[in-house]
Structure 1
Amino acid sequence: MTYSTLDVRPRADRLVVAMNRPEVRNAIDDRMVAELHQLCGELEREPKILILTGTRLDGRGIFASGADIGQLKERSRDDALRGINSAIFNRIAALPMPVIAALDGWALGGGAELALAADFRIATRHLKFGQPETGLGIIAAAGGLWRLKEIVGPTVAKEILLAGRILDAGEALDLHLVSEVVEDPDGLIDAADALADRIAEQDPLAVRLSKQLFDMPASAHPAIDNITQAICFESEQKHARMQAFLDRRNNK
């Protein structure tokens, strides 16, 4: 598959994808949305871990500066009701295998909401994270209004959403918005790869099912857990991995 706004680097168990519109600070336009849908289709057909990152401009990192304001300005009520960005971010969040957002520099507006759709976020010390939508006369309608609150809590979320607060890397780490801060930007993808390596060591089926069940409503548990565990109990990987564990223990 060919991409013009994404730099896609496939590996055996993962895709490393860099948004690649540095001339507009990786603003998310209709073309990028279409290519992200294309990417999701590929990962839905052949599940792999996704590492999503940005690019550099004049030596400085940029994850994504937000939606393309030139296009956003021209969007109408009907465009809003289509949920152009929320639909793709929800699709990314629902991918079968985990998504890791590797954040360097600005992650604003739609860029922040894209990062929130990931399962994990790793950042450099240059991270600047915010939701400036209300300053532009709109709301953070692609996930920011609800995903942010779930992660950082309502008080800080309101400061970001209603008062324009921008978080730096240290604040994001303290608030568990990111799980790791990398001092050297050149080590960002290495850190994301290290996390992906740990995920790849697990049974892919168990990882996929655990991700699917994670956001289920409380009323679905424990019944859905029991049914899913029944699937796992019959898998070849369960027997092989448990036998390997017993063999290692018995050989000590």
Structure 2
Amino acid sequence: MASVRVEIGDGTGEIPAAVAVIRLDRPPMNAINTEVHAELLAAAQQVSADDAVRAVVLYGGEKVFAAGADVKEFAQLDYEAALKGVPRLMLSVNALAAIPKPVIAAVTGYALGGGCEVALTADFRISADTAKWGQPEILLGIIPGMGGSQRLPRLIGPAKAKDLIYTGRFVDAQEALEIGLVDAVVPAAETYSAALATAAKFTTLPALALRAAKAAIDQGLDGDLATGLKLESHLFGSLFATRDREIGLTSFVQNGPGKAVFTGVPGASGE
């Protein structure tokens, strides 16, 4: 039985049309093992390639997002196995981070260790008011190995990231909000619906422009300012070959801002 499911909304059920949900389902705590990594990689590749999907929600269920990596599996690794195997695990979280569409993590219960690292791949994190966050790997004699030491300081700053990583302490939802780890805190029962509603807002916006905006920000942060500005210029110019650029500018001139109805699909201007 699969531990990761992809559900795509068609507008008739709870999931809005054009929204995909990547659902972790490995009870009781959604511990992330090798098989889960492989399934997360496949899920990320699936939603990335599907033009019908315009936004994505990462979700672990009502009780827990993911309490971390499968420690029993880690305990069996020796030095050689870790050097060979752990980099492969990074493929799944990198694929989640590279989804070229808005991604919202809906976090209930625990988002610890690898679970926190999966949530860090999202563009936005909506936290249940009862959720607990943390990178407790130091308490096992190791450090984060799926991006936590890199994505966390980029998100909340190096000093706050060092506090969490050096101590391994958990933070509650309110502190997570205060330090910038999460973007919104809602009652636990509303976490999933809030994430779906947030995702739905992006489904009517120009998909190619959103893709370009995400690439400009994420890839720009990996280099210096000059390189980032060159990337922005390239991506900005490339959007002038899209039908949505023509629709957006024409609608603005004729009807004012915020009234364009975008196609959301590739297609050169005038096609």
- Do Structure 1 and Structure 2 share a fold, with TM-score over 0.5? yes
2-side partners of 1:126 and 1:79: how far apart? 37
The aligned amino acid for 1:187 is E
2:33 maps to which residue?
29
Residues 91-141 of structure 1 show CA distances to partners (whole Å, capped at 9, x for unaligned) of 110111122111011011100111111111001101100111111111112
**Against the structure 1 CA distance between its residues 118 and 249, is the aligned structure 2 distance closer, same or farther, given a 3 Å change threshold?**
closer
Residues 133-162 of structure 1 show CA distances to partners (whole Å, capped at 9, x for unaligned) of 111111112111121112222222122111
2-side partners of 1:69 and 1:21: how far apart? 14
Conserved? CA contact 2:41–2:91, under 8 Å:
no
Among 36, 40, 45, the alignment partner of 2:44 is 40
Extract unaligned runs of 5+ from structure 2: 10-16, 258-271
Residues 60-104 of structure 1 show CA distances to partners (whole Å, capped at 9, x for unaligned) of x20001011111111233443341332211111011112211101
Alignment map for 1:38-187 (pairs within 5 Å): 38-47=42-51, 48=53, 49-56=55-62, 61-81=63-83, 82=85, 83-183=87-187, 185-187=188-190
Conserved? CA contact 2:103–2:199, under 8 Å:
no
2:18 maps to which residue?
13
2-side partners of 1:222 and 1:137: how far apart? 40
1:190 maps to which residue?
193
Q: 3-state DSSP class of the match of 1:97?
A: coil
Residues 134-191 of structure 1 show CA distances to partners (whole Å, capped at 9, x for unaligned) of 11111112111121112222222122111122111001111111111112x2221221
Q: 3-state DSSP class of the match of 2:65?
A: strand
Q: 3-state DSSP class of the match of 1:176?
A: coil
The aligned amino acid for 2:209 is A
Residues 182-201 of structure 1 show CA distances to partners (whole Å, capped at 9, x for unaligned) of 12x22212211221122223
Q: Given the two structures, how large is their TM-score scaled by the length of structure 1?
A: 0.90
Conserved? CA contact 1:20–1:26, under 8 Å:
yes
Conserved? CA contact 2:45–2:95, under 8 Å:
no
Q: 3-state DSSP class of the match of 2:56?
A: strand
The aligned amino acid for 1:62 is V
Q: Percent identity?
A: 34
Conserved? CA contact 1:85–1:110, under 8 Å:
no
- How far residue 245 of structure 1 moved from its aligned partner, in angstroms, is 2.2
Aligned pair count? Answer: 242
Residues 38-76 of structure 1 show CA distances to partners (whole Å, capped at 9, x for unaligned) of 1122123215322011124xxxx2000101111111123
Conserved? CA contact 2:48–2:99, under 8 Å:
yes
The aligned amino acid for 1:123 is S
In the TM superposition, structure 1's runs of 4+ consecutive aligned residues that sit over 6 Å from their partners are: none
2-side partners of 1:80 and 1:95: how far apart? 27
The aligned amino acid for 2:241 is E
1-side partners of 2:228 and 2:185: how far apart? 34
2-side partners of 1:68 and 1:147: how far apart? 21
2-side partners of 1:8 and 1:44: how far apart? 12
2-side partners of 1:193 and 1:245: how far apart? 28
